[in-house]
Amino acid sequence: MPKPIAPCLWFDGKAEEAANYYVSVFKNSKITHVDRYSDEGPDPNGSTVYVEFEINGQPFAALDGGPMFTFSEAISFVIEVADQAELDYYWDTLVNDGGEESQCGWLKDKYGVSWQIVPTVFNEMLRSSDRKRAGQAMRKMYTMQKLNIAELQAAYDA
What are the extents of the domains in the chain?
A: 8-64, 76-157
> Residue 41's pLDDT is what?
61
- 8-64 maps to which CATH number? 3.30.720.100
pLDDT bucket at 43, cuts 50 / 70 / 90: low
Q: Which of 36, 40, 34 is nearest to 61 (CA)?
A: 34
Q: How far apart are CA 54 and CA 23, in angstroms?
A: 7
**Would you say the CATH fold of 76-157 matches that of 8-64?**
no
Tell whether the model's pLDDT for residue 58 goes beyond 80.
Answer: yes
Q: How far apart are CA 77 and CA 90, in angstroms?
A: 12
> Residue 96's pLDDT is what?
93
User: Which amino acid is residue 79, in one-letter code?
Assistant: I
DSSP strands (E only) in the chain = 8-11, 29-36, 48-55, 58-64, 76-81, 100-101, 106-108, 114-119
Query: What pTM, to 2 d.p., does this model score?
Result: 0.91
User: β-pairing, 58-64 with 8-11?
Assistant: parallel
> Residue 137's pLDDT is what?
98
Q: Could you write out the DSSP letters of every residue in 58-80?
A: EEEEEEE--TT----TTSEEEEE
CATH 3.10.180.10 describes domain 76-157:
yes
Provide the percentage of residues in the chain whose pLDDT is more than 90. Answer: 87
Q: Provide φ and ψ at 17, rounded to 5°.
A: -60, -45
Tell whether the model's pLDDT for residue 106 goes beyond 70.
Answer: yes
